[in-house]
Structure formats: C-alpha cells, structure tokens
Chain A
C-alpha cells in the first residue's frame, strides 16, 4: 500500500498537459507570428502579400511551365520556360569547351566539390588531406588542359561554371594568406615593409576591380615584349587575388587590433619570438574574431568573379547572356537569370553556412 501511495502523485503529474494553445502548430504560431498586436499585424500583412504572389508564382514556375520543349512551344505556353536552361545547359555550364570532351570539366568539378566537402570537417585536416589536394589539383589541371594522352584543350576555350569555380576557389584560397601577410606587414615596425603594405593596400582598395581586370588584360600586354603572351585566365586570376588580398588584409588588421594588448605582452614574456608569437598566440585568436567579416569579403569576391566578362572570359553569367542573345530564346531572360541566381545562391549559402559552423566549433568562450 505504501508504495501505491508513493507512485500515485507522479501519475497525476504526468496526466496534466500544457494547454493546447501553447504547443504544436498553434503554440508555435502564437509565439512566433502573433506575439503582441504589432507582430500580429505584420504577420497578417506578410501572409496577405504571400497569398497574393505565391500562387501565381507557383503557377508560373511549376504548373504551367515547360521544361523540355522547343522555344516555339514555350512561346505558346503561359508559364515559365525552363527549356531555355535545359536546351542550352551544356553551353551555359561549359562555354566553348569542345562538346565531346565536356565530361572532363564535369569530372574536374566533381573532384573539386568532393575535396571541398571533405575538407569542411576539421577532423580531416591531416597530412593525407594535403596529399589528396595535391593529387586532386593535378588531376583537375590534367582534365581541363589535357596532356598525358588526353586531347589538349586551349585555355581560351574554358568557360562557364568550371571557370567561375576555378577563379573563385583559387582566387580566394590564394588571397587569404597574402591578405594575412599584408595585415601583419601593416602592423610591422619595419618601415619598408610597413610602407609597402600600406601603399599596396590603399592603392588596390582605391581602384575598382573592373579597372584592374581591364589593366591586366589590355594594358599589361603592352609592356610585354612582342610575341610574349601570358595566359588570359592567369592574368584575371592574379588580378582577382591581388584585389581580394587587399580587402582581406584590412579585415585581418581589424582582428589584430581588436586583440587585447595583454596577449602580445604575454607572448613576449614567454620569450617567444615574433613568428612564434604570431603563429601560436596572436593569429589563431585574431583570425577567429574575423571569421564573419572575412566570409563577407570572400562571398562578395566570389560574386565579383562575374566581372571577368569585361575581358571576354566566359563565366557562368556570360554564357547565360550569350544564350539569351539567340532570337529563339531572347524572351526568356527571367528564367535564365533565375537559374544563375540559384547557382550563385547555393555556393554563397554553403560558404556562409560553413563560416557559422566554424565559428561555433572554434568558440572557446573568450
């Protein structure tokens, strides 16, 4: 009996449920959408706007849309014409890369994405990963350029998505360390290094990327001796790296200056020399602070790669625009730009998502 007496109150406690208005969908809506009169009005307005636009958008994009038709059938239909993408997907994705060899850049992109995906996890940051990257880079280069039995494809014919990825991935990875070095240089007590860094950063930041690309492609060849030409993609790549590095440098400098002075003094009092202090104490903390702003710069640099059209490189955006200049597909620019926006969004979202995760993982509470 005594035991019965003891268990009974517990059962009663189990039986009492929270009121139906504070759990489930209704509860969620109360907390998130109708919390107070102001939020309720805002929610109602947003819901009204969505109900006005969303159905017609869905109707346009999915219900009435055509996916694998000719342009004439598209013109007859009333919905979105996604056929403009499907019919031209190979030119949009690969540009002038020879038609029958397009599996090569495709494979190279898959390798790159796999490597990036694998490198996301910090547990994988071992020596073997470095070898995997070396091997990956080599095979990507081989696939794109040819050689060793593969037919050689001139880099003038590279284009589309592989070019966008190439310019941004290598541009950003190369710009970051250069930017860090420039930031350290700007903080340096050595006058030559300091003034070089300051002049470089201010000079580059004072010039738009377009003009740098233009200089690299049109003016730079004038200074080369006759007959010597540098690869166009390489020139654009260098311009992007130099440009992004200057911006990274200023962000990293912010992190360095944001560090407590005590950290510098502590490093010195431990007897660490400059390089040790930077590598072991200052930079790990400073770079952690600047993850969000650097990611902002990397994302905008990624999107800026589309400016290479100015020097006649065919990145993803340009191949899409070229497709649209065909009278057959001229009327469907909304669909085409929607597709390009989606590709850019996926890449940028992945980057910002990763930066948030990295921030959380590295958060040590101070």
Chain B
C-alpha cells in the first residue's frame, strides 16, 4: 500500500509532465473557461461544507471565492469539487481542479514528490487530544496503552504514531473513516482518547452529550500549516493564488474590511492606495485587474472577517485566533508589502 501511494502519484505526475496537460498557463485557462475549479473538503465544518440549502461555507471555501473575486471580480465564479483525503492530490495533479483549498497540511514530501506547490498558509493548525475527564489524565504523556480514535490517510495518523513512539508509549489505534463516525465512536467509549487537528477538537467536543465531561489536553503534538496548493511549475498561477491569500491578511493589517472598503478608496495612505489599486501596478504584475484586491475585500472580506465568520468564537468551533492572529498581535499571519 505504501508503495502504491507513492507510485500512483509519481506515474500521474509523469503523465502531466510529458503531456504538458494544464501545466502551462492555468491562469489563462481559467480566464477562458470563466470559472475556477476548486477542490474542497465537503465534511469539515468551518473549512468546507455545504449547509442545509446546499450553499458552500467555510474558510477554505471563502479562500476559493477570493481567488474568483480576484480574477473575475465575481466571487461566485467558482465551482467546487468535493474531494476525499485520498483523491485530493490526484485530482490536482490530473488537472481536474485548478487549485486545492482543502485543509491540506504542507509538508516537504508533498511539496516535492507529489509535484505540488503550497502557497501562503490560510490556517495554522496543530494536533491535539480530546479525552473524557473520567480517564483522569492530565497530560498526553500519560496516555501509555491508550486506544486512540483517529482518521485514516492523513498526517494526523502518522503524527500520533510518531508521538507515541518517541515517548516510548504503546498505542492502540482505532481508525474510523469519517469525522461524524469518529466522534460518535469516541463518545460511545470505543476509544480512550480522540486525536485530531486542534481546530476540530472544540467542534467535536461541542457535540458531546455532555461537553463538560471532556477535556482538550494542553499538548499540541504537531505543526499543521494548512495551505492551498497548486500544481508545481506554473509560477504565474501560484503567484495569483498566493497573493490572494496574502491580500486578505494585508487587508486586515491595513484595517480594510468589506464594510469600509469603499471609504478606503479615498484614503491617502500610500500602502492602502497601492493595495486597492488606486495607485495602479499590482494588478498588472499579477496579470489581473487593478481592482483585484478591492474585489476580494468587498465580496469576501479580510482575513479576520473570514476567520470569525467560519471558525471564530461565535461559531460552534469556538476558535480563538491564536497562531492565526496577525504578526503584530502575537500570531504568524504576516504579509510582505504590496508594492
């Protein structure tokens, strides 16, 4: 199986390279067809999931909408392809989708072996543990011999195995394919603890029959920079996607929101003027309309708005900004100057 997982992408990449399919000029291809085809998660509340009416919602969804807003000036010119953890990279390699915004963790091997390029991280996550209070455990180091509920085929599974090995503990993985079933199995007592990205733990705990009976352990055992990905080798397209994510961060830093963006158009701050295209230049360099950043902020919002709307403290996920705060607020979100 391990072989298979390495060989199939390699073969697919080889096909892409020899055939040259969609490697050159994704931006032009996207402009021609009139929409961005985006690979997304369909089951991850807060990141990618349709609501009762079939309208897509989530942080990754809004990132994709921002790309459409930047290219077409219309955030709705985006089509979503729901992908599983197993099909997500293959779909990108085969040209089925133009960009992957599906809470994928950036790693060295994915960046190289899989022929992908990750852009600016849109959510810094990490992996933690959720335990029932009655287990009487205060730290993840006390979990020796525990049975661990975990999703398959993700970095999560590997991280937890590594963590237990490094700390010379035994673990008994209980692998369950989807989030809802995973939570259910955990609450039914089929495993001692549940491990997942920290962004998910609060949401999972919220659906417990009695949330106060469960605790999230303080240890974060891995780095999970979740970033959109594009095919390796198309630098123009990568620049576009990269700066779309950065534009949302920069907008927050400049204090531009979807509500005040029209007033900001008359600002005399040179950074704001350059950002919003009042002083032209950025758009041309990226091969986009000069109002690309304006359209992103106007139609989708800045990073803070997107964060609070989808995963913030007022959503069922109840996440604080933490690592995802701006750099001048103690977080990691930092954008290079837009000039």
Residue from the list B19, B44, B87, B178 in contact with A310, Cβ < 8 A: B87
Residue from the list B16, B184, B203, B316 in contact with A222, Cβ < 8 A: B16
Query: Do A99 and B53 form a contact, CB below 8 Å, given A325-B43, A327-B316?
Result: yes
Give min CB distance, A204 to chain B, whole Å: 21
The interface size bin for chain B is 35 or more
Interface string of B19-42 (1 = CB under 8 A from A): 111100000010000000000001
Residue B183 interfacial (CB < 8 Å): yes
Q: Are B49 and A322 in contact (CB under 8 A)?
A: yes
Chain A residues with CB below 8 A from B43, complex form: 321-322, 325
Chain B residues with CB below 8 A from A27, complex form: none
B74-128 CB contacts (< 8 Å) to partner A: 79, 81-84, 87, 90-91, 94-96
A296-346 CB contacts (< 8 Å) to partner B: 309-312, 314, 318, 321-328, 330-331, 333
Q: Are B29 and A327 in contact (CB under 8 A)?
A: no
**Total interface residues in chain A, CB < 8 Å:** 39
Residue A265 interfacial (CB < 8 Å): no
A206-260 CB contacts (< 8 Å) to partner B: 214, 217-219, 221-222, 226-227
Q: Are B52 and A331 in contact (CB under 8 A)?
A: no
Residue from the list B12, B44, B50, B87 in contact with A312, Cβ < 8 A: B87
Main secondary structure of the interface of A (DSSP, over half): helix
Q: Are B22 and A226 in contact (CB under 8 A)?
A: yes
Q: Which residue of A lies closest to B11 (CB)?
A: A219
Chain A residues with CB below 8 A from B19, complex form: 222
Q: Which residue of B lies closest to A71 (CB)?
A: B207
Q: Are B45 and A325 in contact (CB under 8 A)?
A: yes
Chain B residues with CB below 8 A from A96, complex form: 50, 54
Q: Are B96 and A327 in contact (CB under 8 A)?
A: no
Residue A120 interfacial (CB < 8 Å): no
Query: Do A330 and B180 form a contact, CB below 8 Å, given A75-B209, A226-B21?
Result: yes
Give min CB distance, B95 to chain A, whole Å: 6
- Residues of chain B touching chain A, judged by Cβ–Cβ distance below 8 Å, are 12, 15-16, 19-22, 29, 42-45, 49-54, 79, 81-84, 87, 90-91, 94-96, 178-181, 183-184, 187, 203-204, 206-207, 209, 316-317
Can you show 28 pairs from A to B with CB atoms below 8 A apart?
A: A87-B52, A91-B50, A91-B52, A91-B54, A94-B54, A96-B54, A99-B53, A99-B54, A214-B87, A218-B12, A218-B96, A221-B95, A221-B96, A226-B20, A226-B21, A310-B84, A312-B42, A312-B87, A321-B43, A322-B50, A325-B42, A325-B49, A327-B206, A330-B179, A330-B183, A330-B184, A331-B187, A333-B180
